Structure 1
């Protein structure tokens, strides 16, 4: 084979290799995070005897840094190399989750330490998520973003399926606290995969430095001023409000109201997460056949009402309500997310992508602490089952933001980069 042909073939393979490394690292990291999503509440409930309200605070803690760091993170990421930011964030998160078992072995673990670990890891996640969303378009051609985002979401949801079951098994064998070391290891694997990525894409020339407030306002103006971006951002914020309330109350609901043990809790959440895998796999096909805007509407209003079934969960056969209801609901949430993220990455100007991503994530994630605190407060006042009805109904109502013009009249969301200014 001629040298030029071999070189072209190697260059053709490299984007696929780079994406595979990113996919492996992210899926592994999400597996560790998924295990922690079960183990950390179990540590709080069984080891430190946390109340429902404290559980709501613990659920909200990883998201609170978005309220402070979310907007400036976009401006900082646009000034820095995204991969370097991601590596630093992985190192911080690994150290945080090593500290919890160490403190427990020393007999000094407190709820304050758990809350602090959640806050610090949440701050690292602010920068990682912003850098990650800006980094993916550097590795993947624009026309492939929907497919690649779908694969990443499918990997994420696969980790969410496997993680709770693995978390329940670890809790039964090793204990909840030592199991948190798995999350620390997953961040190390993610960093190794990021380090192995080789990209020929040159870094763009740095833009002239301006005041941080001016750069933040650029992202805000784009998100608020563009009708399509504004509508999907409001929808995402409403969905996260409802899902955070559900996450805050579901462990208390399943353990204390329904009466499941830690092992059953793990596989219940895992079975529900199978829907998320399906949603990630079918999102691109539905968007291609129906049009991305029409698919977004159809998925939301077809899938979200099934979440109401989760509130009917009870012992024995009635556990099927939780499995089926959350599976269909999560399929819809993930499929909508694939479509929205791909639209944002393809539509936003590249020089603004970090700031636009940070602004949308700030607005989306700022509702998560509120939803978690509301879920925990409602469960303390009225009980876990009535709260399950409220939060799942709120998820259905979130679709109202997609019914506004111009989304209602579109077949496809715009895919070409928006004109500057």
Structure 2
């Protein structure tokens, strides 16, 4: 019996391919977390950007969901997902490498930063759609909650270590050099993904492939599922206000509390600790509360704590506010694990890419607007007021899912994928 227990605890990690996916995710997310902190600091410290310019940079980073959000799903469904993941990781590494090179050459400017952010954002759309679509093939539909929880735990660990690495790098070597570390992380992610041996079958092309018809098919499936409509709309509201909040968070910490890059890194690492706790408890919360109920309950309980940050000043109040951000991250991961597993279990294999892209297009489509609104609100009302607005909006994002009939506590379980193919 003692020999069996450790094996059982490993779960999906017994699978070498899943371990390789976790390792690739770890390096890719580490690079992404470093870039998340370093890019705005490049604008703030190296290029002296103001609040609106920081908001515009955030908008350009996430505008890829609007540019290619819907067609990305149709294109990914025509290709092997592993190949898409590898190629986009390596391409992101190369585009990020241009920032330190331009800085060393004395050519770095805000327009170049916007361009890199835009291209990186488009590539990220393809990567994320491919990864979400690849997981059901790799682990099987019966283990989606475990697979999503494990990957979320990996992302959370890198959310802790990423800012902890980026903060000192920015302080010691400058923000452009920190971006170089992010580029290395993305490159290692692509190389590790090459080691995944399990090959998915090549998608069978349609006799007459038509992009618009394929996009319409994914949209139709989402619109017919009231449960999916509810969680996607809630995601859209949450992401809009989250980005408003995040856009001014670094500005508030640096300019109104006097927190340096190392301190900012520690606060973001604390958010990563909350995300890790959420990943480790997501499966348990889904069992105790119910997978569908926890999707709206998690943000309703944890998002109001984000309103502590505008009150923060140097000292103990800043620590309390940082704890509130950790709770926000915990609730966010619990929600994402539950709703990702719900979406993947409900969707037939042939539509995974398109449904994922449609969900991303709707739920992430407002993120560029959130960046612009955050920058504009910060310029007019100040960073603290913008944080208040963001916290209130994130809390209200629980309403669409709560009001969704399919996700009510007494609604039936999702229809098996074989029965919902249109």
**Under TM normalisation by the shorter chain, which class is it?**
over 0.9
Q: Partner residue of 1:294?
A: 293
Distance 1:103 1:350 in 2: 43
Distance 1:139 1:52 in 2: 43
Distance 1:255 1:368 in 2: 23
Distance 1:288 1:415 in 2: 19
Structure 1 pair 186–307 and aligned structure 2 pair: CA distance change class (3 A): same
SS in 2 for 1:395: helix
Distance 1:209 1:338 in 2: 36
Spell out the pairing of 1:57-206 with structure 2 (5 A cutoff).
57-199=56-198, 201-206=200-205
Matched, 1:407 2:410: no
Displacement after TM superposition at 1:409 (Å): 3.6
TM-score normalised by length of structure 1: 0.94
Distance 1:166 1:124 in 2: 24
Structure 1 pair 356–215 and aligned structure 2 pair: CA distance change class (3 A): same
Query: Contact conserved, 1:273 with 1:327, CA < 8 A, in 2?
Result: yes
Matched, 1:388 2:387: yes
Structure 1 pair 314–413 and aligned structure 2 pair: CA distance change class (3 A): farther
Residues 226-247 of structure 1: per-residue CA shift (max 9 Å, x gap) = 1011111101111111111111
Q: Partner residue of 2:8?
A: none
Query: Contact conserved, 2:32 with 2:182, CA < 8 A, in 1?
Result: yes
Query: Contact conserved, 2:78 with 2:204, CA < 8 A, in 1?
Result: no
Query: Contact conserved, 2:12 with 2:139, CA < 8 A, in 1?
Result: no
Residues 319-356 of structure 1: per-residue CA shift (max 9 Å, x gap) = 12321111111111111000111111111011111101
Displacement after TM superposition at 1:413 (Å): 4.9
Structure 1 pair 320–415 and aligned structure 2 pair: CA distance change class (3 A): farther
SS in 2 for 1:24: helix
Residues 87-138 of structure 1: per-residue CA shift (max 9 Å, x gap) = 2211211111111111111111001111111001001011111111111111
Please, which runs of 5 or more residues in structure 2 have no aligned partner?
1-10
Structure 1 pair 168–349 and aligned structure 2 pair: CA distance change class (3 A): same
Q: Partner residue of 1:260?
A: 259
Distance 1:132 1:269 in 2: 25
Q: Identify which range, 69-78 or 318-327, moves more after superposition.
A: 318-327
Matched, 1:420 2:394: no
Q: Partner residue of 1:34?
A: 33
Q: Partner residue of 1:337?
A: 336
Query: Contact conserved, 1:242 with 1:394, CA < 8 A, in 2?
Result: yes
Task: Name the count of aligned residue pairs.
Answer: 410
Displacement after TM superposition at 1:260 (Å): 0.8
Q: Partner residue of 1:317?
A: 316
Query: Contact conserved, 1:241 with 1:371, CA < 8 A, in 2?
Result: yes
Q: Partner residue of 2:7?
A: none
Distance 1:412 1:333 in 2: 24
Q: Partner residue of 2:366?
A: 367
Displacement after TM superposition at 1:203 (Å): 3.6
SS in 1 for 2:65: helix
Distance 1:123 1:200 in 2: 25
Residues 3-48 of structure 1: per-residue CA shift (max 9 Å, x gap) = xxxxxxxxx9997110110011111111111011111111110110
Distance 1:198 1:406 in 2: 38
Distance 1:50 1:400 in 2: 36
Displacement after TM superposition at 1:415 (Å): 6.3
Residues 252-274 of structure 1: per-residue CA shift (max 9 Å, x gap) = 01001111111111101111221
Distance 2:174 2:296 in 1: 43
Residues 382-414 of structure 1: per-residue CA shift (max 9 Å, x gap) = 111111111011000111111212322436752
Q: Partner residue of 2:280?
A: 281
Query: Contact conserved, 1:233 with 1:360, CA < 8 A, in 2?
Result: yes
SS in 2 for 1:407: coil
Distance 2:232 2:317 in 1: 35
Distance 1:396 1:44 in 2: 30
Displacement after TM superposition at 1:280 (Å): 1.1
Displacement after TM superposition at 1:302 (Å): 1.7
SS in 2 for 1:56: helix
Q: Identify which range, 151-160 or 294-303, moves more after superposition.
A: 294-303
Distance 2:246 2:50 in 1: 15
